[in-house]
């Protein structure tokens, strides 16, 4: 069972349908692994529906329908809703929301490897977020770094630890510019994570500079 969850603000945004696609993908994948958060999101959606039912009908202006249709046709509105590509069965090791974004298996992805760390890009057309799968060999440490923005990491297999805690399958780690850490993968199996960032990481030291081009793609 997950012990580290998305924030309440993130769950509310997801329930409202106002979350950008990369973060919505991360939250949806977490929900597939976390009954507690699925229950919370269902409650938020029910409350939102009840509030809409309780609202008094408002008079519509003569051009209301035209304006609504214009908004639906706008590229900005369409871009924010998760629209996964059609896929076959996919890799059954992945929760279904993420499986729909991975054509074939994890092994067929275009992995970029440096040392014990590999990453494969998802949603490359998005320029507001970097979305990637990371595969970290057992006992491998990601060089110490801080953040220019926010970093959201969902563990899919294995686990990792840093000074903020121990994260295993289904757990979500959230780091902001105040967090400087050095995650280390657990012993045993590879740690595979879904990572979403809205700004580059800040690495230091010679090893970090070597890995930076890989992790900043």
Percent of the chain with pLDDT strictly greater than 70:
74
Tens-place pLDDT, residues 35-57? 999 999 999 888 877 665 555 44
* Bigger pLDDT: 63 vs 51: 51
Residue 59 pLDDT class (50, 70, 90 cuts)? very low
Of 130, 142, 147, 146, nearest to 196 by C-alpha is 130
CA pair distance 217, 212, nearest whole angstrom: 9
Tens-place pLDDT, residues 156-181? 999 999 999 999 999 999 999 888 88
Does pLDDT of 103 surpass 80?
A: no
Given this model, what pLDDT does residue 107 score? 87
User: Lowest-confidence range among 68-77, 138-147, 148-157?
Assistant: 68-77
CA pair distance 191, 149, nearest whole angstrom: 23
Separation of CA 163 from chain center:
21
Separation of CA 67 from chain center:
32
Given this model, what pLDDT does residue 58 score? 45
Of 113, 137, 154, 132, nearest to 189 by C-alpha is 137
User: Roughly how many angstroms between the first and final C-alpha of the chain, as a whole number?
Assistant: 32
Domains and CATH numbers, the chain: 8-80 (1.10.10.1320), 105-215 (2.60.120.10)
User: For 64-77, what is the mean pLDDT?
Assistant: 40
Does pLDDT of 69 surpass 70?
A: no
27 and 10 Cβ atoms separated by less than 8 Å? yes
CA pair distance 98, 194, nearest whole angstrom: 9
Q: Could you tell me the two tokens for 159?
A: 């686990």
User: For 121-145, what is the mean pLDDT?
Assistant: 93
Given this model, what pLDDT does residue 199 score? 86
Does pLDDT of 62 surpass 50?
A: no
CA pair distance 208, 177, nearest whole angstrom: 17
């Amino acid at each position: 069972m997950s012990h580290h969850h998305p924030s309440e603000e993130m769950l509310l945004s997801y329930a409202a349908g106002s979350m950008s696609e990369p973060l919505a993908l991360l939250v949806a994948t977490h929900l597939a692994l976390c009954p507690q958060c699925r229950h919370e999101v269902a409650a938020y959606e029910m409350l939102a529906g009840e509030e809409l039912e309780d609202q008094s009908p408002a008079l519509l202006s003569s051009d209301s329908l035209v304006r609504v249709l214009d908004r639906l046709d706008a590229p900005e509105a369409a871009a924010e809703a998760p629209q996964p590509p059609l896929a076959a069965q996919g890799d059954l090791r992945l929760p279904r929301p993420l499986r729909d974004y991975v054509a074939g298996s994890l092994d067929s992805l275009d992995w970029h490897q440096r040392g014990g760390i590999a990453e494969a890009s998802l949603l490359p057309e998005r320029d507001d977020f970097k979305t990637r799968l990371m595969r970290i060999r057992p006992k491998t440490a990601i060089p110490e770094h801080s953040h220019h923005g926010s970093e959201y990491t969902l563990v899919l297999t294995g686990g990792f630890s840093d000074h903020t805690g121990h994260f295993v399958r289904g757990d979500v780690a959230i780091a902001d510019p105040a967090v400087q850490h050095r995650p280390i993968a657990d012993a045993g199996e590879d740690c595979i994570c879904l990572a979403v960032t809205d700004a580059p990481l800040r690495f230091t030291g010679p090893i970090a500079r070597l890995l930076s081009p890989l992790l900043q793609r």
